[in-house]
Structure 1
Amino acid sequence: MSDDSRGFFFVFQPRVGEPVKEITIWFNGGPGCSSLEGFFQENGRIQWSWGQYSPQINPYSWVNLTNMLWVEYPVGVGFSPGNATAIDEEEPAAEFVQFFKNFQNIFNISNHNIYVTGESYAGRYVPYVANAMLDQNDTKHFNVSGALVYDPCIGSFEYANAISVYPFIEQYNNILGFNKSFVSLLAQRDKQCGYAQFRQDYMHFPPNGTQPPLYLNTTADPDCDLWDAVYDNAYGVNPCFNVYEPNLQCPLLSDPLGFPSDLIYSYPGLPPYFNRTDVKKAMHAPLTTDWELCTGPVFVADGGPEGYGDLSPDPLQGVLPRVIEATNRVLISNGALDLEVLTNGTMLAIQNMTWHGKLGFQTAPATPIVIKIPDIQYADVFVSSGFDGLDAYQGVMGVQHYERGLMWAETYLSGHMQPQFQPRSSFRHLQWLLGRIDAL
């Protein structure tokens, strides 16, 4: 960047095994959460996740397939220096383009295929960054070859959660445990608030038209704030409820990164791992920075869509279709158990997006994702289950669908952080993104 007071902190790990001329970039979301979470608990070489007593080698690390670059993004997140000034996605994306070209020049990297990936609010970061790279018209440094977003904040995702939460409860109440009277109340409000009718009208393959703007006045009519009602009442059933992985039960799992909520507890008396002085020194991180997993705000506009201070148009309106049409290699995936960003909400968003001249998917996703463990061998290593007779087959782990350059993957038994909760499935997703396999 031209301003020395601003920058991006990053971790780069080259592929384990034969070199490849590609770089896969990873962003966490928030907005305001550090991508060192992805590096340390999801798809990095070393994994120290919730409930683990100590770090271990991650057998499904993405570095077993590709060169990985985790970037704390935007400016002001984690160790990335500078004050938040952005009112939209364009400013941090432009700063990232400068950073990434400097990164390549310093390390003498060029003519690599570039894949941009991330999760949650990075569902906005990824398409805007990829679009800014495409704008450079420079395949030597910005040869965008594909993109991947997990459980993404696309479409009117908060409204889509309200529209989609009752069917989720109906399907998964066996793990949530709400009583019959509460479920009946949700069903009644789902109809009264028009959510059931909205799904009936617009969850179609192919779509039967563009969805109307969603202006759900849950402030004036709090009975229609169904998602918050589910969230609040879930703690009454399960005091250890976790919106990111609702099938977790007590006790609360420990987290070396100090997740900033009551969902996970930090190790007593210890700072978050990346705020330790010895760790900062080992990572060449600034010793004076007080690292936190999530900070904010990172956008400073007054209000903005969803109240995050981010005034950019939804990615569905332009930048995401452009990335799909430029690469024909984009994967959107949702964890079936994710209650933070609901799978049906993400699908409603896709059905309201036009790419390659058509609106939404023309056919409903139905092809199973079947994972046979030997399919994901890497670097001459086979990961055994440890149980006789169970090494050859994991089973049906989701549903896939590909149309016009876009791959959809619903991941069974996974919550929000898919590389953390279902790493074998995520490894398969990356294989497809990189062109190693033709289907999931």
Structure 2
Amino acid sequence: MTFKNPKAKEFHVDGTKIPDVNFDAGDSWAGLMPISGDPDETRKLFFWFWPTTNASNKNDFLFWTNGGPGCSSLEGFLQENGPISWSWGQSEPTPNPFAWTQLANVVWVEQPVGTGFSQGTPSITNDDELAAQAMGFLEQFLNVFEELKGSDFWVSGESYAGFYVPYIANWIYEHPGLEVNLKGIWIADPSLSWGLVQQEIPALRFAQAHADLFPFNATFWAQLQNISDACGYTDYLDKFVTYPPAGQLPLPAGATFNNVTRAVGVSADCRMHSPIQREVSILNPAFDVYRVSDTWPTLWSVIGFPESTQQFVYFNRTDVQNAIHAPHINWETCSSGSVYSNGTGGPGRDTSVASTLSVLPNVIEKSVRTVVVHGLADFILVAEGTRIAIQNMTWNGLQGFQTPIEPDSFTVDNMGTFGTMHQERGLTFVEFSFSGHMTPQFVPWAAFQTIAFLLGKRPSPSTT
């Protein structure tokens, strides 16, 4: 792919000169792009754009963001779905056989402001404002890389991108003018509801289902069961998560409700997720909430996530920063500061309503395809909690899935059964076996099939 605009040359990255990459990775473009056309704009997002390696996919353009809030999309690039793979325990980078660039042109964007190499002072208080800034970035990006205008466009991400991605897509749908054709979204292990729903309610059932990895003594199990019973968690999924739902799902006894902010929380004596995580970390010093099957020894990670045991952090090296036109700053995988403002210049928290209760239904209804995937070994956000969130969401005229999610309903080509899959009214939901929180990292072959389906490259995410 070539670009006529001379400004594009300022962002060009030579694929033979990326430090420690001992193969020609191909041409790419990276650097800082402002979020508006204001010549005095100080807020800039860092991006790394890679063209597709398959010319037949040149009209597809995919946007990727990690979550956090404030976690770098370069994590996704290097350890999940980019053309260069340097995952946990790898001695050196290698070509990624499951790179999403085989399917589309892909841009990895560190957003919002305050994330990774991105520059400027965070000023957003909610995700409508985040989406407006992301759209401003894309407008500036397309002015430089104008050959991408008119592309079919897809927005993807993971974790807190369960907020980011639906809000970005909704903003684009509701504010026409971006010179691409938004077609749909893909979100993995997403934040879709309150922590009560995706952590507390399903936590004990998760630990019980993985008792070999949570080998608590009988006394602690009894304590957990008492909390679960008293707080209304024990029979919640069996009683209320039905197909179809009987109505809006109720809050359990352990819930708290803020009449001012409308936020749902959990009472201190009904916390289940943190005590389980704390106690299992004593029994397994290498316990990883992102993938509960991890055991000792802890694998090193070249970007220092989730553990920093190596001599250097790759994107903190000056030679790497020079190669990708990044500023010479102390790069962090996840920002140590807030990427939201309190509205008066100080750090704040996201005031947005969870996407299943706000913008996601509209996005599903306006999209060709919407895909939600979840790793079954993820404990930071639990798959059964995502099921609760979906069953409490109304889209295309009905609440939740109308028929049950069948076991063993998702298969991977040449592998066989790999989890579950369910599709209704424009929404595809897939649960992956063997996977924790970062599905393109842990089961890249399974994630690849689902993103190929999103992009219309295969008729089903599952083997047909």
Q: Same fold (TM over 0.5)?
A: yes
Deviations 1:354-375 (CA, angstroms, capped at 9, x unpaired): 1001001101111611112xxx
1:270-309 correspondence runs (5 A): 270=312, 272-287=313-328, 289-295=329-335, 296-301=337-342, 309=349
- Give per-residue Cα distances to partners, 1:179-225, cap 9 Å, x unaligned: 33322332232112111243233211111111235662599954421
d(CA) in 2 for partners of 1:316, 1:42: 25
Matches within 5 A, 1:26-425: 26-108=64-146, 109-138=148-177, 141-213=179-251, 216-217=255-256, 222-259=268-305, 263-268=306-311, 270=312, 272-287=313-328, 289-295=329-335, 296-301=337-342, 309-366=349-406, 368-372=409-413, 393-425=414-446
Q: Which moved more, 1:188-197 or 1:242-251?
A: 188-197
Give the Cα separation in 2 of the matches to 1:96 and 1:222.
36
Structure 2: gaps of 5 or more residues: 1-35, 257-263
Cα contact 1:26–1:35 (8 A) shared by 2: yes
C-alpha distance after superposition, 1:41-75 (max 9, x if no partner)? 00000011111111111111111111111000101
- In structure 2, what is the Cα distance between the partners aligned to 1:35 and 1:396? 30
Q: Which moved more, 1:213-222 or 1:243-252?
A: 213-222
Shift of 1:410: 0.5
Q: CA deviation at 1:92?
A: 1.6
TM-score, normalized by length of structure 1? 0.89
Aligned residue pairs total 409
State the shift of 1:154 in Å: 0.8
Please list the CA deviations of residues 67-103 of structure 1 after superposition, one character each: whole Å capped at 9, or x if unmatched. 1110001011111101111110111211111110111
Alpha carbons 1:301, 1:311 under 8 Å: kept: no
**Residue aligning to 1:436:** 457
3-state DSSP of counterpart to 1:11: strand
Shift of 1:321: 0.7
After superposing on structure 2, the runs of 4+ consecutive aligned residues of structure 1 that deviate more than 2 Å are 157-160, 175-185, 197-201, 212-223
The CA distance in 2 between the partners of 1:202 and 1:406, in whole Å, is 21
Post-superposition shift, 1:315? 1.1
Q: Residues 175 and 24 (structure 1 numbering): CA distance in 2 closer, same or farther, change over 3 Å?
A: same
Change (3 A) 1:24 1:225: same
Question: CA deviation digits over 1:340-361, x for unaligned, max 9?
Answer: 0000111100111110010011
Structure 2 SS opposite 1:42: helix
Shift of residue 254, structure 1, vs aligned partner: 0.5
| Counterpart Cα distance in 2 of 1:81 and 1:265 | 24
Q: CA deviation at 1:265?
A: 2.6
Q: What amino acid maps onto 2:390 in structure 1?
A: I
Kept after mapping to 1: 8 A contact 2:114/2:338:
no
Is the Cα contact below 8 Å between 1:328 and 1:406 reproduced in 2? no
**Alignment check: 8 A CA contact 1:159 1:216 kept:** no
State the match for 2:31 in structure 1. none
Q: 1:161 & 1:264 partners in 2: Cα distance?
A: 22
3-state SS of 2:410 partner: strand
SS in 1 for 2:78: helix
For 2:222, what is the secondary structure of its paired residue?
Answer: helix
How far apart, in 2, do the equivalents of 1:177 and 1:297 lie? 36
Q: For 1:196, what is the secondary structure of its paired residue?
A: coil
What is the CA RMSD across the aligned residues, in angstroms? 1.9
Is the CA contact (8 Å cut-off) linking 1:157 and 1:346 kept in structure 2? no
Partner of 2:11: none
Instruction: Provide, for residues 272-321 of structure 1, a one-character-per-residue CA deviation record: whole Å limited to 9, x for no partner.
Output: 1101000000001112x21111112111238xxxx971111221123111
Partners of 1:308 and 1:371 in 2: how far apart? 42
Check the 8 A contact 1:127/1:315 in 2, yes or no.
yes
- 1:308/1:428 Cα in 2 relative to 1: closer, same or farther (>3 Å)? farther
Q: Which amino acid aligns with 1:8?
A: L
Q: Distance in 2 between matches of 1:404 and 1:49?
A: 36
Which letter does structure 2 place at the counterpart of 1:264?
Answer: E
What amino acid maps onto 1:60 in structure 2? F
2:15 maps to none
CA contact (8 A) 2:292 2:377 kept: yes
- CA distance in structure 2 between the partners assigned to 1:222 and 1:129 by the alignment: 34
Instruction: Report if the CA contact (8 A) 1:176-1:247 is conserved.
Output: no
Displacement of 1:155: 1.2
**Aligned pair in 2 of structure 1 residues 281, 170: CA closer, same or farther (>3 Å)?**
same
**TM-score, normalised by the number of residues in structure 2:** 0.85
Query: 1:10: which partner in 2?
Result: 47
